[in-house]
Structure 1
Amino acid sequence: MNKRQLSLSLYINYFIHGFGMIILTQNMQALSHHWQTPLATVSYVVSGNGIGRLLAYFVLGNLSDYFGRKIFINVGMISYFTFFVGMAFVKNIQVAYMFSILSGVAASALDSGTYTTFVEMGKRGGSSNILLKAFISIGEFILPLIISNLESRQMWYGWSFILAAAILVINFVFLNLQTFPERNLDDYETKVVNENLTKKSKALATVGLLGYGYTSMAVMILYTQWISLFVRKTFGFSQSLSHWLLSLYSVGSITGVILIFLLLRQGVAETKLLVSLNALSLLALFVVCYSSVPFISMSAAFLFGFSAAGGVLQIGLNLFIKLYPHIKGRITGSFFTFGSFAAFSIPIITGWLSKKSVANAIRFDLVVCALGLFFVSLTAWALRNSKKEQ
């Protein structure tokens, strides 16, 4: 097994996954015009991604424990390819919704196979999982620039979908030349947390991490879906600046990944990072929601990406896997199932809120972010309390 080549192929998938996470929301106006429907309808189509995740995560996570990781990564790549090509040409809303559901299945399959693969590669697999977020963020940084360029040149919006599909085809061939590690291997790192846990503390930590599985995904979905429209309509920012706020969020995310990766290598406690980063994200998001000064908004967008999307979700998942080391696929599926509830429910909730005001939609993110801080604080308290009980 060539770990570097396999890792590169897995990271490329997550670069495209970054495209897939925001490609519908970044093309909302073009799709609204193409389908001749209001923006709220496009938002409902986006919610299909959550249904796909909801249907697939737990099932695929469990199956990956039994049948291996490679087959489900292939399922994810094929599903994403179908989504990108189909969505570029579809005109029927019902069919578009089915493609959106398929994108959720694609994300579920990739996550179920990839996060567990990195853990099973060796003792540094957990920190390697953090780098997946960097490649997602690179994709989220590049795609708005591509779309902005297409818009300025008055070119077909579908080229952004076709580009993603083409990269997937090349990487599909590359990935299937690689050998995968044996599944469900245990190592010292996955056993450390359990040695210091009581049943009560483990249950509380599980509740906290499942709740965080929802809020961590919801916070990012809300921001990426509505920030561009919000600052244009509420503060009168230009179209290029509104896209730049999303790109700065992605730059902050990449910066956060690098710092978190280094801090984890230095042995900084995962629970401390979870609490501090969630507190910082709540503060930064408050500034984004209420500041009409471009420079301040840009700085806050960077800090929000740094703290909310810089790999903190992956820290939560790594910690969760350590609680249940013998069922890595099931735990990954469970964690992201709660995230899929967010992917399904948040676009519907914000679609309804946006009918009154786009500002209501983005500021609802503050409520979700505060709830996330509560869940990680509960997890940190449970894990710290368990050590005192020993």
Structure 2
Amino acid sequence: MKNKKFLPSAFVLYLTYFVHGIGCSVLGQAVIKESLAGQWGYSDLAAGIGAVTMVSASLGLGRLITLPFSGPLSDKLGRRPSTIIGIICYAIFFFGIAFSPNMTVAYIAAIFGGAANSFLDTGVIPACVEILEPRSSLATMGTKFFISVAQLLLPFMLGFIAANNMSYNTILIVTGIAILVVGVLTLFAPLPKSEKTTDGEKQPGLIANIKSSKFTIESIALIIIGFTCTATFQLWLNCAQTFAKDLAGMADPSIMQTYYSSGSLLAIVVTAVLVNKIKGVRFLLVYPAVTLVTLIAVLMFPSEGLCLIGAALVGYSAGAVILQLVTATCNDLFPKIKGTITSIVMIMSSLSNYTILTLAGTMDSSSIMMMNIVITAIGVLLALFVNLRYSRLVGSNN
């Protein structure tokens, strides 16, 4: 590691992902869904919950809108401006959802939340990769570590709010303030110089960078895994609690979030150790295969105990490191366009978030679980193909 002096800055950058951990999962919490449904005036609770799922989908829309230019912008101007833009957008998201009078306002605020995610992805991830070089996989897993810590604490935060008879919007407001504080710290945090064009030289855009890069069938399959793995954990995060309540009879399914986050944290620790000995691409096959078996078991034998075990296993095998490992592997394959290649992977992730959750908002719990199984199975097949031809994948990009 050649940039040890920037480690405190990496910690500050990772704090944005602690906030992101709350932002990407808060709308999936059963109590938040019910609270927002009432806030927006829905008399039919089921319809209100579906509306919240639709709002969650617009996070993906926000990412889709901004990712085509957030990556090249990060490569051109540097990582700090991209990160600051993301922080401002996230503040708009949290305050917008907290004070939203209806679904329309919340939908627009969530688009800003998606934009925040894309600017953080293309600012923070490349910056941390540059700080922690050559441990790119470890750098990207660091983002998931902070996400998982936040998700682990989220049920306890909600419990504290409920115990003190406070509005659930409190967590949104406090988190909005917290991201602004992190933004101030980011303004003054020293960062290594990223590779970008000299003054006056035109920086290629996303399409130009794609055209100038050599993509193979294997690398395209790898990028598509960004779609399938996102669908797997987003469907679980946003819909599994409803499944557990409707079909497994769980009175308080929010505890599943704790099991999910615990599994995620364990996966980060274990994978961080193993990734130094085993190629990151190998995990892209093994972990989704575990998820696939887990999803099938939960659908076929729904029970409170199996839902809790399933939450931990899905958190470990799907929610922790797959998207981060896909991103790290692509960064290794295309080192000259880190910001752009991160954008490409995250575009696939965002497309998955928007389309799959929008579709899920119109389906019942068991149908959503079945859809998750099919998508995860496709991801396993793609990962098998990539692993079988990985040597060609590396050779074609050298």
Instruction: Give me the TM-score of the superposition, normalised by structure 2.
Output: 0.88
1:45 pairs, out of 51, 55, 58, with 55
**2:188 match:** 177
**2:305 match:** 295
Q: Within 5 A, what are the aligned runs for 1:91-102?
A: 91-102=101-112
What whole-Å deviation, never above 9, does each CA across 1:147-169 have from its counterpart, x for those lacking one?
24434554211011012112212
| Counterpart-to-counterpart distance in 1, 2:231 and 2:255 | 21
* 3-state SS, counterpart of residue 176 of structure 1: helix
**2:204 match:** none
Alignment of 1:379 onto 2:386: yes
Change (3 A) 1:388 1:342: closer
| Counterpart-to-counterpart distance in 1, 2:305 and 2:72 | 46
The amino acid across from 1:215 in the alignment is T
Alignment of 1:16 onto 2:19: yes
Alignment of 1:338 onto 2:338: no
The amino acid across from 1:16 in the alignment is V
Alignment of 1:236 onto 2:243: no
1:150 pairs, out of 161, 182, 185, with 161
* 3-state SS, counterpart of residue 368 of structure 2: helix
When structure 1 is superposed on structure 2, of 133-142 and 145-154 the one drifting more is 145-154
**1:364 match:** 371
1:80 pairs, out of 83, 90, 95, with 90
The amino acid across from 1:87 in the alignment is I
Alignment of 1:117 onto 2:124: no
Residues 62 and 113 in structure 2, CA contact (< 8 A), matched pair in contact too: yes
Deviation at 1:376? 1.4
* 3-state SS, counterpart of residue 215 of structure 1: helix
Segments of structure 1 that go 5 or more residues without pairing to the other structure are: 186-200
What whole-Å deviation, never above 9, does each CA across 1:11-51 have from its counterpart, x for those lacking one?
11101100010112221111111102322222222221111
| Counterpart-to-counterpart distance in 2, 1:60 and 1:102 | 13
Change (3 A) 1:385 1:330: closer
| Counterpart-to-counterpart distance in 2, 1:386 and 1:128 | 22
Residues 90 and 112 in structure 2, CA contact (< 8 A), matched pair in contact too: yes
**1:194 match:** none
Deviation at 1:326? 0.6
Over the residues paired in the alignment, what is the CA RMSD in angstroms? 2.2
Alignment of 1:59 onto 2:69: yes
1:312 pairs, out of 322, 342, 355, with 322
| Counterpart-to-counterpart distance in 2, 1:386 and 1:264 | 19
**2:148 match:** 137
Alignment of 1:204 onto 2:217: yes
Change (3 A) 1:289 1:138: farther
What whole-Å deviation, never above 9, does each CA across 1:289-311 have from its counterpart, x for those lacking one?
33333333322221111111221
Instruction: Give me the TM-score of the superposition, normalised by structure 1.
Output: 0.90
Alignment of 1:257 onto 2:268: yes
Residues 244 and 304 in structure 2, CA contact (< 8 A), matched pair in contact too: no
The amino acid across from 2:302 in the alignment is S
Residues 209 and 379 in structure 1, CA contact (< 8 A), matched pair in contact too: yes
| Counterpart-to-counterpart distance in 1, 2:380 and 2:389 | 14
What whole-Å deviation, never above 9, does each CA across 1:338-390 have from its counterpart, x for those lacking one?
1010111112110111xxx2221233211111111122122212214568999
Alignment of 1:31 onto 2:36: yes
What whole-Å deviation, never above 9, does each CA across 1:310-332 have from its counterpart, x for those lacking one?
21211111111111111111100
**1:5 match:** 8
2:234 pairs, out of 212, 221, 224, with 221
**1:89 match:** 99
The amino acid across from 1:161 in the alignment is L
Segments of structure 2 that go 5 or more residues without pairing to the other structure are: 197-213
Change (3 A) 1:61 1:386: closer
